[in-house]
Structure 1
């Protein structure tokens, strides 16, 4: 004889499974309102009596300290959202799992178990393992969530880390249309959380979310009005401006590519939407939109995704980045650009009157893949290159882009070059053909010969205290 134990708050989905169990010869044990519900629906039930709680009697049964009833081979019981709500159910479930007894916890489990029993007439080892795994997963999620409610950051001082993830929705597709993709949320606090994003119009795929993440990280780093174009989480162009529309015109002055995401750290009005239409934006991210701008997009170009984000001026502590290494993970401190870090000038005078351009160059450089170079002037990025095999290659590529767009129109030296790696003589000879007044090197490796060459050209040269390589 086989048996099952049922103890549920929500009994609306249990009748089909209970009938299947009875048809296969199972004895069903229960108590309280669950017993009454099943009895009212003409299911033959055996009541479990207890002076404390019926679950304790089943636990005794698993421990070999009780006789008289058949040990259940399946437990059907709720997992409460908070362990304090139902300690007896938690004790029962944990005991059953330890003894290798499967446990159905919700409609999805109940329906699957019912279909399995109808097909095979018994509980197979595979379905039993799946039910045990599901129950362990849910219990560990609840426990880990309670831990992050106390301290909502990853703690790498502990050798064991549990990160609770809960599926919240399916998105249009992943990086490519043939890849399905789901979004999972966690209680970990970070400088970017999807709760900070409000989708006003459009359906997003994974590439849009990657663009949004990168855009928000950059926008939260800047107080001045800023516009940026971004594609597949790569910064395409970026500029300061007195107003969002002036910033936008600066990044498109020397040409532009269509089908980008555009991001602003200010309110978007209808005039900016008129200007943006020229560039066929895929999405627009901003602090807010005027209602007129929203209505216009929905009426005239409903394919454009429009989103707002919550600005964060304070960076949460203890931020970590998780890197997938296949079956393993690396967890490192997040590389945060510290605006207070000193820039050490090796040659030339300290030209901190250009602090906005210096900050912009460092901000962009931090978000480019090593080896990279970026050229900035008058509050905008003129050119960049990333993912090169050497710093020299990155510099040459950036210079080529400037020349190909005929962007050298300035008589005075007002360009700033930021490079992630060490400089060499060949790349410097190309650099000197541009009106560069400051070169910032992102490493402390200093070549005395290079310093002399730069000094002879009367160009300022500085190094940063911290290296911000990105791979």
Structure 2
């Protein structure tokens, strides 16, 4: 008769799994609470202490850490020496190991968790058993997740055993579970250390994608273990085709910008750059501003709204081609109009937790990672200096709005804005004056008068040519980091035009 060892913290479904194993002629061995549960259900079970000769000790710290169990799991059935060792010690092999681990991540996520409580939730025996079973998967079936119970049982019923390919998959899953568990413990113990000697993040596949940036590239979306929230946490897709790689990339860019704006706000993104941004007293007006900023580029874009979609706004959105629509709720009439657009992916945002301001920014480079603090903290107003002229309250509002947006545009980046609306955006240029030229031309292309507008630059102006071009177009205030050797020339050009300039002292490159 084969034997199964069960030792689980999450006992959901384990009694039914064990009962079915017993029907398939498995003798059941279980630890502590698992054995108590099975016995209470009337399922014959042998407590592990009957095999080890030791009761659990040290306040449940030592339960399954014993040669009688690990030898039974690790023995190679096709190696006579291993089987002779088992016989010499009176140990019978174990053929299936079902283990899940203490909920360490859930425990340390609590704000009131104590150090001692967290330490006691670091599982030792569970990972050891699981790794042993996974190592010896040629002879032992490792089971670590509830969603594997039925597939394993199905194979056992059909053929009396579990196929080699399935065993290999189960082993890989087991090692992934223990690796992710160790990663969580490592991150917690490292605490506030921003750049530890070794980074061991863990990610779980959250969504399979049809392809990557291009059709010939395979892709998937993974959510980071231990993150406060993630791109699709508590997000429901109410309508439309499956999300694509590019959809998710643009959605991330739009959400990161939208969270920094005073709402109601609307952000429209194409190719990971905002093409239109609006803030207003109503979400309807905010959308109209964002759309009017650059209606051509908005075609097929990702639209993120900070307020629910009303009936009127839903009907207006239905007039446009929108790839992805993201909002915290939709009026029923709005949904009726929007679902008539089969290509639009409608996402309902139910997440109310904020993004973690301490989250690190990871960028893959050849053979490694570049790791930095995420550029998400607002710049202190008291550190900003009015270097030229005077700034009216209305101009301050526009300058801070443009400064927020430009942080989310690929460098070299220029944003021209007025009245809570972007008028022209110059993105991703190798020359800053070219970024200014594009922003001005885009604004004019869409009929925007730049008189009284403001300009934000993510980096300093190396020459006065960029500001001069914008000032001639009607811009009356500029916000930029400063720090150029030619700051005096730039300031002189702004002063000569009768405009104002604010220096923030902080650059915001984005690549």
TM-score (normalizing by structure 2): 0.72
* Mapping 1:180-191, distance limit 5 Å: 180-190=218-228
Q: Which of 473, 478, 492 lines up with 1:452 in the alignment?
A: 492
1:344 equivalent to 2:367? Answer no
Q: Which of 166, 170, 174 lines up with 2:212 in the alignment?
A: 174
- Matched with 2:141 is 104
Q: Structure 2 CA distance, aligned partners of 1:132 and 1:441? A: 55
Distance 1:162 1:429, change over 3 A: closer
Q: Which of 280, 303, 316 lines up with 2:343 in the alignment?
A: 303
Q: Which of 93, 99, 115 lines up with 1:79 in the alignment?
A: 99
Structure 1 residue 426: deviation in Å?
3.0
Q: Structure 2 CA distance, aligned partners of 1:322 and 1:105? A: 33
Distance 1:289 1:381, change over 3 A: same
Q: Structure 2 CA distance, aligned partners of 1:242 and 1:387? A: 31
Which secondary structure does the structure 1 equivalent of 2:314 belong to?
A: helix
Q: Which of 475, 481, 485 lines up with 1:442 in the alignment?
A: 481
Which secondary structure does the structure 1 equivalent of 2:88 belong to?
A: coil
Distance 1:13 1:376, change over 3 A: farther
> Are 1:59 and 1:92, in contact at CA under 8 Å, matched by a contact in 2?
yes
Q: Structure 2 CA distance, aligned partners of 1:157 and 1:102? A: 41
Distance 1:430 1:132, change over 3 A: same
Distance 1:279 1:15, change over 3 A: same
Which secondary structure does the structure 2 equivalent of 1:282 belong to?
A: strand
Size of the aligned set, in residue pairs, is: 441
- Matched with 2:332 is 291
Q: Structure 1 CA distance, aligned partners of 2:479 and 2:3? A: 70
- Matched with 1:223 is 262
* Mapping 1:407-446, distance limit 5 Å: 407-408=448-449, 413-423=451-461, 424-446=463-485
> Are 1:344 and 1:463, in contact at CA under 8 Å, matched by a contact in 2?
yes
Q: Which of 461, 466, 471 lines up with 2:506 in the alignment?
A: 466
1:400 equivalent to 2:441? Answer yes
- Matched with 2:397 is 356
* Mapping 1:38-57, distance limit 5 Å: 49-52=51-54, 56=66, 57=68
Q: Which runs of 5+ in 2 are unaligned?
A: 7-13, 39-49, 56-62, 76-81, 104-120
Distance 1:422 1:416, change over 3 A: same
TM-score (normalizing by structure 1): 0.77
1:7 equivalent to 2:5? Answer yes
Cα-to-partner distance string for 1:38-73 (whole Å, 9 max, x where unaligned): xxxxxxxxxx94423896314357799865269999
Q: Which runs of 5+ in 1 are unaligned?
A: 20-27, 37-47
1:333 equivalent to 2:373? Answer yes
Q: Structure 2 CA distance, aligned partners of 1:159 and 1:311? A: 33
Which secondary structure does the structure 2 equivalent of 1:218 belong to?
A: helix
Which secondary structure does the structure 1 equivalent of 2:181 belong to?
A: helix
Cα-to-partner distance string for 1:56-102 (whole Å, 9 max, x where unaligned): 31435779986526999996312313287996554444556789987
Which secondary structure does the structure 2 equivalent of 1:433 belong to?
A: helix
Distance 1:267 1:112, change over 3 A: closer
- Matched with 2:275 is 236
What value does the CA root-mean-square deviation take over the aligned residues?
4.4
> Are 1:287 and 1:309, in contact at CA under 8 Å, matched by a contact in 2?
yes
Distance 1:173 1:70, change over 3 A: farther
